[in-house]
Amino acid sequence: MRLALLLLLAGVAFPEAIEGAAGKAEITPDPGKALVWMAGFGTGRRATGVHDPLWARAVAFRSGDKTIVLVSLDLVGYFYPEVEKIRGILPKKLGVTHLVVSSTHGHEGPDTMGIWGPIPFLTGVRREYMTQVRTTVIRLVEEVVKGLRPARLRMATVVAPVDGVVGDHRDPVIFDDNLSVIGVEDASDGAPIATVVNWACHPETLGSKNTLITSDFPNYLREEVEREAGGVCVFLSGALGGMMTPEPPQGLEGFEAARHVGETIGKAAVKALEGVKAVDEAAISVRSKVIFLPVTNKMYQLGMLAGTLRRDLYDAEGNPYEGLPSTKRPPSVRTEVSMFHIGDAQFITVPGELLPELAVGGYDGSHSHGRDVVGKGNPNPPDLTKAPKGPYLRDRMTGKAKFILGLACDELGYIIPVYNFERNDRSPIHQPEPKGDHYEETNSVGPEAAPRILEALETLLEE
């Protein structure tokens, strides 16, 4: 009795009956009514039609007085200020303890960040569309939370298929090859409610020449899961940075290639839960932390000052930034990381594209699936003697099923280990790039992103 009281005072969550609910709502823009500039590759790519719908999908969990809602958007990215707007508008009576709005990072949908307009520095973001997405998400969250009912959960993390599915285009070749899944079913009759799937790969199978709006492989992944398991499938991207990209078997191209990747992972997700015992009680605990990340990328600075990238800027102490950026005093952006448990499932959220080695290590080849960690033809190989030592993020996580949610509540570009962050500081646009593959540095807020994000996450994991 005394121990229970001490644990209660310390804020330790106890398992209670779990409730679950899920839903989806379409967020497809209409290229027939307004210009839609497509995101993810270069500027000037205008959508000419729709191949398959884009979705906002949500799953909610409640245990005791805590409710967590996870929303996944078929978008290239969704900034933190937009997430905060949604949180501020949600009715307090819903009792949402923590809301995570993440993006799949689809490369075949509308520009929602300001980077991919008709020409450089001319935004492709349409205010009306952003309002539509915000309104849709709020309605969806309300609907899902109101639909919460007693549920049972099954959860697992397994090794995902790699060959013929995903490749790594930047040395060191390391995959976060974890596939994490939660199955949610009605406690009364076992009817399927949802399947949550977390896996790391860029949804960019269709490439830069496609002009049809599509959610890429997540479309086929979700269809496969819903066909086999029922309910609503919510796909959440993982540590897909640097550069986890679809690599289907030779001969497969276009939408057939996307179908192969999606259905392969969908089948693996359904199989992962076979034989897993369901539980009807789970404790929910949540911890989050607001952090400030210095923006040393001069193109990002220029975009933010010009309003192309709509972000407020702060100084190192979190005060509004005044004056023009300088090398000694770069501006910062405000963002968030979080860690939460839903029973034996543990989640961490990352505000961008985490390079997989920061999640799993793998410098010894343990996550390379037979490939050379460093290619023999690399003209500028990374010095792995300077790579960070473990334990890595997944090593620090203690859950039975471990979820790393990339592009969660923000998209600040690639999160790159400091030892392998290379750029030409003499050029304001980071060009020419260093030898080898260092494109990711041009799409990152800067080298301090990784250590600051990892430090904040490690603090949450240790608490």
Phi (first) and psi of residue 30, to 5 degrees: -105, 105
Q: Residue 436's pLDDT is what? A: 86
DSSP per-residue codes, 83-97: HHHHHHHS-GGG--S
Calculate helix-pair angle for 217-229, 254-272, nearest 10 degrees: 40
3-state helix, strand and coil shares in percent for the chain, rounded to the nearest 5: 25, 25, 50
8 band by pLDDT with thresholds 50, 70 and 90: very low
Average pLDDT over residues 388-416: 97
Other C-beta atoms lying within 10 Å of the C-beta of residue 163: 12
Average pLDDT over residues 189-218: 98
326 band by pLDDT with thresholds 50, 70 and 90: confident
Answer yes or no: pTM beyond 0.75.
yes
> Which letter does DSSP use for residue 160 in this model?
P
CA dist 198 and 22 (Å) reads 16
CA dist 342 and 284 (Å) reads 5
Beta-ladder partners of 59: 22, 70
CA dist 362 and 368 (Å) reads 7
Return the H-helix or E-strand segment holding 271: helix 254-272
Burial 323-358 (b: 16+ CB within 10 A, else e): eebeeeebbbbbbbbbbbbbbbbbbbbbbbbbbbbb
> Which letter does DSSP use for residue 229 in this model?
H
* Of 122-131, 181-190, 218-227, 426-435, minimum mean pLDDT range: 426-435
Average pLDDT over residues 340-358: 98
Q: Residue 7's pLDDT is what? A: 46
**430 or 161, higher pLDDT:** 161
Q: Residue 4's pLDDT is what? A: 45
CA dist 57 and 137 (Å) reads 9
Average pLDDT over residues 173-199: 98
53-82 pLDDT tens trace: 999 999 999 999 999 999 999 999 999 999
Supply angle C-alpha 201, 409, 86, rounded to 5.
135
DSSP E strand boundaries for 277-354: 281-282, 284-294, 332-342, 345-349, 353-354
Q: For residues 434, 111, 414 and 161, what is the CA-based torsion angle, rounded to 10 degrees?
A: -110
The tokens for 204 are 């960019």
305 band by pLDDT with thresholds 50, 70 and 90: confident
86-115 pLDDT tens trace: 999 999 999 999 999 999 999 999 999 999
Strands 353-354 and 414-415 turn out to be parallel
Q: Residue 317's pLDDT is what? A: 86
**334 or 316, higher pLDDT:** 334
Indicate the domain borders of the chain. 12-282
